[in-house]
Amino acid sequence: MQPPNQTPQLENNRRGIRRGVYLLPSLFTVGTLVCGYFAILSTLRGGQMVAAGAGTGQALMAFDNASKAIGWAILFDGLDGRIARLTNTASPFGREFDSLADVIAFGLAPALLAYVWGVRGVDALAGTQLIQHLPQIAWIITFAYVICGAGRLARFNIDTLKPASDRRFFVGLPIPAAAGAVAAVVHWQKQPVSTWLVAAGWLVVVGILAYLMVSRMRYYSFKTLDLRKRRSYLVLILIGLIIWGVFFYSEPVLLTLALTYALSGILLRISSKIRPHPPAPEEVHAA
């Protein structure tokens, strides 16, 4: 039996541990915010260098750092939700805090990166009559990306209050995946766009990502993947190869992964039209 004078101390220690566990998911959310803020600052720095026509190498590094920061934000965002579920510390505050962080890191930061990296160089290097309206069009499309991302998160907050039995799919492209596609393209190319034709194509890509976020297309969620179950060694080899590829060849590997997942919803919609699947009881909506 514990001495009477030690019982209050043990209770205080347990309360402190419980409070620390509840704060742990929010700390990862703060990490998401930090990465989003750093991505914005790096994008602005790269844009200033491009507009000044100096420091090309430093501008490339600034844009690349912004894309890497968005990638780290995706990692932190995935960890905070999983840790909250594993520790049973999910809360309404954590859900709202996570959504607000996602607006910054996966809405505003990639939209600004898409605009500055994909259009500012064209505006600075080739101010002709043909492209005089390109910055205004880019402003509208990238702002539409932010609106669609915020709407995607708002729909998620509403739908989480509804019972969901089918956890296999997201409805609409998750906003971290859309941000990852933008960041992967910038990380792969690095050199900012300098021709109006490529800039126009880039804006089409950003517009498609915005539409996919608010669409009803289904994307595999991987939430039903139980890492505690025994898996084939082939799965472990595949995961190891992906990690090895990201470490040594991050540009093509991350670009392939991001674009493959973004296109998977379209392919799944086409396949369902050709060969309809039995309807699930209900779909899960996620950020």
Q: What is the pLDDT of residues 176-208, one digit of tens each?
A: 999 999 999 999 998 888 888 899 999 999 999
Q: Which residues of 123-148 are buried (b: 16+ CB within 10 A; e: fewer)?
A: beeeeeeebeebeeebeebbebbbeb
Name the more confident of 236 and 284. 236
The pLDDT value recorded for residue 183 is 96
159-175 pLDDT per residue, tens: 766 665 456 778 889 99
Cα gap 179→73, rounded to integer Å: 10
The pLDDT value recorded for residue 285 is 44
pLDDT higher than threshold 80 for residue 231: no
Average pLDDT over residues 120-131: 62
Residue 279 in tokens? 């309807």
The pLDDT value recorded for residue 228 is 57
240-250 pLDDT per residue, tens: 888 888 888 88
**Mean pLDDT of the chain, nearest integer:** 81
The pLDDT value recorded for residue 187 is 95
DSSP letter at 116 equals I
Name the more confident of 69 and 84. 69
Lowest-pLDDT range of 14-18, 21-25, 31-35, 84-88: 14-18
Cα gap 108→36, rounded to integer Å: 8
The pLDDT value recorded for residue 282 is 45
The pLDDT value recorded for residue 15 is 52
Average pLDDT over residues 54-66: 84
Residues of the chain with pLDDT > 90, as a percent, come to 39
The pLDDT value recorded for residue 281 is 45
Residue 95 in tokens? 């859900």
pLDDT band at residue 287 using 50, 70 and 90 as cut-offs: low
User: ∠ at Cα 186 (182, 192), nearest 5°?
Assistant: 125
Enclosing H/E stretch for 170: strand 169-171
pLDDT higher than threshold 60 for residue 226: no
Q: Is 149:188 a contact under the CB 8 Å cutoff? A: no
